[in-house]
Structure 1
Amino acid sequence: MLSDIPRFGDGGHWHLPDRLLLEDGITLPLCATYGIRHMLASSDRGADWWLDDIQVIFRHYFIGDESTEKLAELACKTLCHYAVENRASRRAFGLAYKTLKLMYEMQGARHTFDTLAHAKAMYEVEIAVWDPSLGFGTFRDRTQAVYVLLHIVRATISGQSRLTPSQTDAMLAWGQQGLTRVREWLHGLDWTGLHKGCLIRSGNAGEVLAFPHIASHYLIKMIINPLIRLCSIPGGLAVVSGELVSAIEHTWSAARLAYPDLVDADIGFVWSSGLARIDSRLAQLKALVVGQCSP
């Protein structure tokens, strides 16, 4: 079966037999479970081929509603654990992030305290590393880690996770401390240091010119939008402070000062841009939080 994994993913799930997708919903999750168990025992765990095959298996978790919470738990714990053990593997962290987003947020799997603890451990490893000399990649990784933190907080207070009251209190207290650290990081962010790190590391002037576009994209996708979603659920506004919103405004103003000369978003090396949306999204977040704080 393992030899069929790459071929299984080549055409995407749209090319699988209808029987597998519509009539026999247990087939794919069961195959995925056996495949992952086999691969976790492999002595080549972490090799490029291993990550390739793991990605194919996990991708096919996301077929319809047949993805079970047990499979989501296996995926979450597997990839978060591997990302902690092998932080140098950016791909493992990316796959763990996608698992949290696709299986828990989009498909509605419910967390347990154990799965949240695995995500928390991965976050703590990521958030401990901040080196502007590594260039803009370190900004991407840090904002993605913030997304994981906000995912944990939202899962904790949503009432959808399978937590005891004491587990909820403990995870929420940890999350609030994490949000304080995020606020401090945003307020003190040195954009010029990132600029110098990028030039020293790659000498790629295109990356520097494009970075206001890329920075706005990551701020929206990884921080602002998740905060807006957090504020939209009961109890969410209570954990998002006005000081955190002010820190986001402050860091974005500092970014605009550090990069005053913007290139056109249509230039080929600008692969994504949030410049047209970031001010409105910030205003929406501020209205939610400040409106809640007003007498």
Structure 2
Amino acid sequence: MTDPENSQGTPQICPTDPTTQALAVRGLTKSYGDATVVNNINLDIPKGAIYGIVGPNGAGKTTMLSMATGLLRPNKGTAWISGFNVWEEPNDAKRSMGLLADGLPIFDRLTGKELLTYVGALRELDEGIVDQRSEELLEALGLKEAAGKRVVDYSAGMTKKILLAQALIHNPKVLILDEPLEAVDPVSGRLIQQILKNFAQTGGTVVLSSHVMELVEGLCDHVAIINRGVVEIAGHVDEVRRGRSLTDVFVDAVGGAALQEGSLSWLGASEGHSEGQNQNEDRAE
């Protein structure tokens, strides 16, 4: 487990061989002008884990994962997926992973079934296998009736599910998900969690970024807390919690803000009875 006291810009050196991990980064750094968004991160994600990446808004989670998956070139540092160097062996690395990332362009003028067929062809899968897996994924994710509907007309939750399906269709070794349950209804959310658990139990690795601490605590067996571009603490969930809730550990690690006494005291006041109006009434008396 990473010691948070040693993580501020100078994280501990990971002793393991990065090529033996499902996903590993060494010295990963990204700056924009004078602002350093990711600061010399080292991280190991073991094979077979369901690994949660958590942090406050602007902590650098998405930037780190974007560099680790080859979407964004780092200023310095290296990443490996399934033992392949993301920047030196990009084709092998990308064959090994499935990715669901917010904000990426998708071919949303295709129907759900057409999108899976297209992605399967890009992945060089046999047409029969693509058809079979597409049917199973659409059925499992509750999208069978929407298979002939264009993705642009999907709801936010349905879009999230079809993007998960396209990330899974080639049966990757490492599945990397950015907010996979955002906008997804509770029934579908529970089903997706079961799919992810089954995937990990059969040897796959799941890496997910989320703001929902209850999801990470209930689903993930490992977690890393990132704040201000560094890993504050990382390890097995039980080691990180040490008998406490993950939310409490998170707040302590990133620094929680408290509402100052008297701040926003006007909220909830009945119309015509604000503090200022009460003072005017007192003067009139």
TM-score (norm 1): 0.25
Which structure: greater helix fraction? 1
TM-score (norm 2): 0.26
Larger radius of gyration: 2
Which structure: greater strand fraction? 2
Relative contact order, higher structure (CA 8 A, sep 6+): 2
